[in-house]
Amino acid sequence: MNRKLGNSDIEISAIGLGAWQFSEATSFHKFFWNGIDPETTEKIIDVSLKGGINWIDTAEIYGNGRSERGVSRALQSLKIDYPAVRIATKWNPLFRRAKSIVKTFPKRVENLSPYPITLHQVHNPASFSKPETEMEEMFKLLDDKKIEAVGVSNFNTKQMVRAFERLEELGYPMVSNQVKYSILDRRVDKELVDRAKELGVTIIAYSPLEQGLASGRFHENPSSLDSIPFIRKRVLKRKFEKSTELINEMSSIANNHGVTTSQVALNWLINYNGDTVVVIPGATKPTHAQLNAGAMNFKLSKEELSLLDDLSRQFI
């Protein structure tokens, strides 16, 4: 199940693989994810690609380049060539000006080599520069054919439109906005997603499984919440009770389709908004990666999409 990346000719699978988990549990990442060894990383990537996923989302800040290097290492070991896989990465804007987009780019290339960077994104709107200036720097990379497309992440509607319009003036589409979006967190509905639809900007939904909560596995076994890293546990506990009715309905729909609750959560996201939304679930286990890719292989009915919409409106 492929989708166009914004108003570009690039085709990506509706489900990509998130690579934050490959940060090797360094600095603040360890409060979310335990470390993953290179063999498991390779297996996760292998089953994802075999399941029809054709792109991986990483970032400069994920382990300060460790995730980028881990992805490239695993792909080389699996002997996968571009364009069988495409890479999206992100510039870290914290305490920086837009000029650092071009300045830090050689490091992105070194970490990901020999894989070209398809999509380069501004990780969040926290830099000292305006969205317009950031797009002017990204334009230099586009125009030099060093990247294929430009996106942003965590931009609100206004910031997204400003970035889109500046890049459009320079002759290129701004193809995506990567934002937190799941059936248990719909704060970007409706304004941002609707505006993205109008502009032809792809919404890349991050944390689409609400860091595992939307899979129903913690509802099945609540004590397992205690075994996950600290910050993630605190966040998930907040939504645990409120989501019980929705999770029960998702689980019953899953049974009818012979799939899992996690697959219903992903399938709802990639189909509820037509072609606008793609998702990037992360995985620390090959079995999860395989299930996540498999969420592209069935279709929820119109009635099921709207029933889940009704039950999850409390999270808008």
Ligand X SMILES: NC(=O)c1ccc[n+]([C@@H]2O[C@H](COP(=O)([O-])OP(=O)(O)OC[C@H]3O[C@@H](n4cnc5c(N)ncnc54)[C@H](OP(=O)(O)O)[C@@H]3O)[C@@H](O)[C@H]2O)c1
> Which stretches of the chain bind ligand X, using CB under 6 A?
18-21, 57, 123, 153-154, 178, 206-212, 215, 217, 228, 262, 280-285, 288, 291-292
Spatial distance between the Cα atoms of 313 and 308, rounded to a whole number of angstroms: 9
Nearer to ligand X by Cβ, of 52 and 170: the residue is 52
Least distance to ligand X, CB of residue 89, Å = 10
Q: How far is the CB of 198 from ligand X (least distance, A)?
A: 22
CA distances for 62 relative to 16, 41, 89, 226, 289, angstroms: 17, 14, 10, 24, 19
CA distance 305 to 65: 38
> Are 132 and 163 within 8 A, CB to CB?
yes
Least distance CB 308 / ligand X (angstroms): 17
Which is nearer to ligand X, 144 or 244 (by Cβ)? 244
- Which residue, 28 or 303, is less far from ligand X as judged by CB? 28
Choice between 73 and 285, CB closer to ligand X: 285
CB 206 within 8 A of CB 230: no
Residue 277, SS3 per DSSP? strand
Complex with ligand X: residue 64 or 170, whichever CB lies closer: 64
Q: How far is the CB of 265 from ligand X (least distance, A)?
A: 9
Which amino acid makes up residue 15? I
Contact 99, 138 (CB under 8 A): no
Give the number of residues written for the chain. Answer: 316
Nearest Cα to Cα of residue 271 among 164, 169, 183: 183
The contacts found for 298-303 with CB under 8 angstroms, 24 or more apart, are 298/257, 298/259, 298/263, 298/267, 299/267, 299/271, 300/253, 300/257, 300/264, 300/267, 300/268, 300/271
Q: Which is nearer to ligand X, 170 or 229 (CB)?
A: 229
For residue 290, the minimal CB distance to ligand X (Å) is 8
User: Residue 57 or 304: which CB sits closer to ligand X?
Assistant: 57
Tokens of 280: 């990037």
Preceding amide of 106 cis, omega within 30: no
User: Which residue of the chain is nearest ligand X when measured via CB?
Assistant: 18
- Distance, in Å, from the CA atom of 45 to the CA atom of 265, rounded to the nearest integer, reads 21
Burial status of residue 305 (CB atoms within 10 A of its CB: 0-12, 13-18, 19 or more): middle
Residue 145 CB, shortest distance to ligand X, in Å, is 25
Nearer to ligand X, 199 or 203 (CB): 203
- Minimum distance from residue 31 beta carbon to ligand X (Å): 12
What is the closest distance, in whole angstroms, from the C-beta atom of residue 215 to ligand X in the complex? Answer: 3
